[in-house]
Structure 1
Amino acid sequence: TFIMTGGTTGVPKATVLTHFNLVSNAIQCVLWVGGEDPGVGDIGAIPLYHSFAMTAVMNVAIGLGGWMMLFPRPPPTGEFLKEITHIDAPKGLFYAGAEILFKRIADFPDLGKFPNLMGRLRLCISGAGPLHAPVQKSFQENTRGKIVEGYGLSEASPVVSAGNLFGESPIGTIGMPLTGTDWGIFDTDDFEKGPIAHGLSGSKFGEENTGEICVCGPQVMKGYLNQPEETVDTIKKWDGRLWLLTGDIGFMNDDGTIAIRDRKKQLIKVAGHSVFPAEVESMLMSHEAVSEAAVAGLPDPKGKVGEITKAWVALRPEYKGKITDKELIAWTEKNMTKWKCPAVIDFIDEVPKNIMGKIQRRVLQEADPLFKK
């Protein structure tokens, strides 16, 4: 099976996924949700040609012995809620999607019109980007459903890890690796140095030991189609096993969970300091006026600090015209280290996303007059 990568940070590539990769990942996901559960419903509002939907919706539903409710594209929230609440679902629903889909439900003003929704979305996984704490909190409070963050990439069929659906799941982490999957934090510049942290003796935990997240398991792709050089750069051998270099930056906690910081290629360098866009986005989204945010680096027009951090912010309707960019920047400076704060904020109507709901930082970045290819 050939599945295209998202192309978030560059030109999309075709991953070569074997039947063994895909079946293994489906079984891993079935085990993660608790094993076979005939009769459970699986909602699909993301396209099946994407690895996330193919595995987490279609293949998992088959593995569970459940049924699927498919939408060709995410419908308006009211229409979506009407459809999922009128259908008979005594065992509840499993819903895999991007954060924006869960945010729309959590923010929907007329949830009271759908009393059958309460507790119906019992197993939810947010993927294709980070699950921000305010979204998780409001979704669970407003629907009485359980939602956790998952992590994956097309090169891994795609699911690598997920939070605990049946217990506590630490906020800010991407959970634990699925059955049969190992992961570690490796040096971002030299994989051959071996792991900084891999959960065993000698591991160095914590944010000060940040590196590239690498994974090893039966779901890791065979390679990229007709791109041998890119394959060699992405799949490397260590300790007799093949590891996938994900291109994501993170660190391991002493409990074995990993906190993801951002994409390696989207790291912003401000006067030599590393700024992770996702961290700045999370801070901005914790402000009561902010609905969505996207952050990227741009060349410093003054040539003093290398790059500057720019944020594109969509305000909640009730705050439009009531807060300025300077006020929002001043607020971030009170809540973050100064060199992490955005130097510039533009207000926009909506943050652009791809069909999966993933924020398209590159679209905003490349459209900016300061951008240099």
Structure 2
Amino acid sequence: MTRWSTIPEMVASAADRFGDAEAVVDGPLRLTFVELVERIRCAAGAFAELGIAKGDRAAIWAPNGVEWIVAAFGLVSAGGVLVPVNTRFKVDEAADIISRSGAKAVLVQQGFLGVDFVAPQGVPVIDVKSDFLSSGRPFSRPVDGEDISDIIFTSGTTGRPKGVMMNHRQNLRLYEEWCDLADLRRDDRYLMVNPYFHTFGYKAGLIASFIRGATMLPVPVFDIDRVVELIAAERVTMLPGPPTLYHSLLGVEDKAALATLRAGVTGAADIPVELVRRVHEELPFQTLATGYGLTEAGTVTLSRPGDSFEDIATTAGVACDGVEMRIAEDGEVLVRGYTVMQGYLDDPVATAEAIDPDGWLHTGDLGTIDDAGRLRIVGRKKDMFIVGGFNAYPAEIEGFLLEHPAVAQAAVIGVPDDRLGQVGKAFVVPKTHEDTDGVVTAEQLIAWSRDRMAGFKVPRYVEFLDELPLNATGKVMKDKLHERHR
């Protein structure tokens, strides 16, 4: 069990535990843990003076940066509940989440990505770059481990986002274990490309760093050249991120600039074996953990130190301590344990649909579990399509397509077909001419696929794109591909 029962208690203790060690580096700004915790206490005072009472919610709609860290932990130290908002959202999308969450205030960074953020009428908007966060007297308010600490809205790649409620104690227990399995160490220098509005960025990033005493290096917008500069200049050791991050690192010419990297962590279904092999062979990482998680249950599985290369590449590891998994008759992954959310905000119907009376969370993902307890994700239940009576899983077909030497990225959807009900359509980002001996055509790729997979899996259509539509966490937005096909 964790040493602390609440996030504010854990964060405040970091000043004593790590003292003058560097806590955050954001551009020219460098703060020790003592200095960062003092800023957080002042921000808590500012929230209290604004009228944030215990259990009140406030939203943060801003990019990764020291202000996000101070605002988020200041808010929870004042007894408030954090509602992070996706920085890629348009004004109407954000307004929907802000109003549904009942936020009493919204903290924004005006002008980020060229957007001036506006909140629904009556909700005060505070610029994180203003002096608001430093304006309060040092303050903290007692909270309980069972109190809700954050409401993170699902990424909404298949429907309207829902607010997932988690409490302090479950967050602390899970991400203390995450630190062990991901090999996050005291004094690690953690480059944070995962956005803070997402579980991977906020919990496996910020909460984990406060638990361990790692230096946080926020990256507001992913740019590979800037990332390489920071790795070299700041001697970065820890770099989790989506598979696309590691693709980018493999393309870096000056590999010597990456020499300090030791540990990486990436996510579940769409990691080609070839990618993991190349990361191990061409980059300096000593460990690359793979895992599976979702907003509704945090991190469910992680690979273990010493796992074979094949296991890391082809499975998402085994369940975290205190988490159970099983596969339902239709192939859906079910999860039960202390990490499962407290429910969807103001949506008892959706909560009851997601968590059955026995406490199993229905994840919407399809998978298998081998004899060693390793989870393999084969796709999304909603993504699966049926070709003439056979179940086709996009993630599996995408894995095959990525083996083609001219394919850089691939995403597959099911589209209507008069004869078979549905057939596959592949959206492909080709590699550049420099990487290959030429360009592949749709006909060639379909013929190549016929030699490698069962007929029902072979895409009937191929469309080439310059880039796939990704959300800010690196997931392909399949709904956008469906719209494009229609």
TM-score when normalising by structure 1:
0.85
Residue 447 (structure 2) pairs with residue 330 (structure 1): yes
- The offset of 1:21, in angstroms, is 2.3
User: 2:318 corresponds to which residue?
Assistant: 176
Q: Is the Cα–Cα contact under 8 Å of residues 42 and 66 in structure 1 kept in the other structure? A: yes
User: 2:471 corresponds to which residue?
Assistant: 354
Q: Secondary structure at the match of 1:97?
A: coil
Amino acid aligned to 1:306: G
Residue 427 (structure 2) pairs with residue 312 (structure 1): yes
- 2:289 maps to which of 148, 162, 168: 148
**Which contiguous aligned blocks of 4+ residues in structure 1 show a shift greater than 4 angstroms?**
none
Residue 227 (structure 2) pairs with residue 80 (structure 1): yes
- The offset of 1:310, in angstroms, is 0.2
Q: Could you report, residue by residue, the CA deviation over 1:288-313 in whole angstroms, capped at 9, with x for unpaired residues? A: 0000011001111xx11000100010
RMSD: 1.7
Q: Is the Cα–Cα contact under 8 Å of residues 97 and 125 in structure 1 kept in the other structure? A: yes
User: 1:296 corresponds to which residue?
Assistant: 413
Greater alpha carbon shift after TM alignment, 360-369 vs 278-287: 360-369
Residue 285 (structure 2) pairs with residue 138 (structure 1): no
Residue 206 (structure 2) pairs with residue 58 (structure 1): yes
User: 1:273 corresponds to which residue?
Assistant: 390
Aligned pairs, how many?
Answer: 332
Query: Unpaired runs of 5+ in structure 2?
Result: 1-149
Residue 351 (structure 2) pairs with residue 227 (structure 1): no
Q: Point out which structure has higher relative CO (alpha carbons under 8 A, 6+ apart).
A: 1
Q: Could you report, residue by residue, the CA deviation over 1:36-59 in whole angstroms, capped at 9, with x for unpaired residues? A: 732112221121111111111111
Q: Could you report, residue by residue, the CA deviation over 1:263-304 in whole angstroms, capped at 9, with x for unpaired residues? A: 10110110010000011111111110000011001111xx11
Distance 1:106 1:176 in 2: 27
User: 1:11 corresponds to which residue?
Assistant: 160
- 2:300 maps to which of 136, 144, 160: 160
User: 2:366 corresponds to which residue?
Assistant: 249
User: 2:134 corresponds to which residue?
Assistant: none
- The offset of 1:69, in angstroms, is 0.9
Q: Is the Cα–Cα contact under 8 Å of residues 20 and 218 in structure 1 kept in the other structure? A: no
- The offset of 1:330, in angstroms, is 0.3
Distance 2:437 2:322 in 1: 49
Residue 210 (structure 2) pairs with residue 70 (structure 1): no
Q: Percent identity?
A: 30
TM-score when normalising by structure 2:
0.66
Amino acid aligned to 1:148: A
Residue 333 (structure 2) pairs with residue 213 (structure 1): yes
- The offset of 1:320, in angstroms, is 9.3
Matches within 5 A, 1:87-166: 87-88=234-235, 93-108=237-252, 110-112=253-255, 115-118=256-259, 120-127=260-267, 129-145=269-285, 146-156=287-297, 158-166=298-306
- The offset of 1:28, in angstroms, is 2.0
Residue 480 (structure 2) pairs with residue 363 (structure 1): yes
Amino acid aligned to 2:247: K
Q: Is the Cα–Cα contact under 8 Å of residues 26 and 55 in structure 1 kept in the other structure? A: yes
- The offset of 1:88, in angstroms, is 4.0
Q: Secondary structure at the match of 1:346?
A: strand
User: 1:40 corresponds to which residue?
Assistant: 188
Distance 1:124 1:60 in 2: 14
Distance 1:271 1:63 in 2: 52
Distance 2:204 2:363 in 1: 20
Distance 1:165 1:124 in 2: 12
- 1:22 maps to which of 168, 171, 179: 171
Distance 1:74 1:129 in 2: 22
Amino acid aligned to 1:68: M
Distance 1:104 1:130 in 2: 16
Amino acid aligned to 1:176: V
Q: Could you report, residue by residue, the CA deviation over 1:16-72 in whole angstroms, capped at 9, with x for unpaired residues? A: 1111221122122123235x7321122211211111111111111111121111101
- The offset of 1:107, in angstroms, is 2.2
Residue 328 (structure 2) pairs with residue 186 (structure 1): yes
Amino acid aligned to 1:246: T
Q: Secondary structure at the match of 1:237?
A: coil
Q: Secondary structure at the match of 1:232?
A: helix
Greater alpha carbon shift after TM alignment, 46-55 vs 319-328: 319-328
Distance 2:270 2:173 in 1: 24
Distance 2:280 2:469 in 1: 25
Query: Unpaired runs of 5+ in structure 1?
Result: 189-210
Q: Secondary structure at the match of 2:296?
A: helix
Q: Is the Cα–Cα contact under 8 Å of residues 13 and 225 in structure 1 kept in the other structure? A: yes
Amino acid aligned to 2:344: Y
Distance 2:469 2:421 in 1: 26
Distance 2:277 2:301 in 1: 21
Q: Is the Cα–Cα contact under 8 Å of residues 128 and 357 in structure 1 kept in the other structure? A: no
Distance 1:283 1:59 in 2: 37
- The offset of 1:321, in angstroms, is 6.5
Distance 1:359 1:128 in 2: 13
User: 2:120 corresponds to which residue?
Assistant: none
Amino acid aligned to 2:271: L
Distance 2:169 2:483 in 1: 39
Distance 1:139 1:106 in 2: 7
Distance 1:31 1:181 in 2: 16
Q: Is the Cα–Cα contact under 8 Å of residues 269 and 378 in structure 2 kept in the other structure? A: no
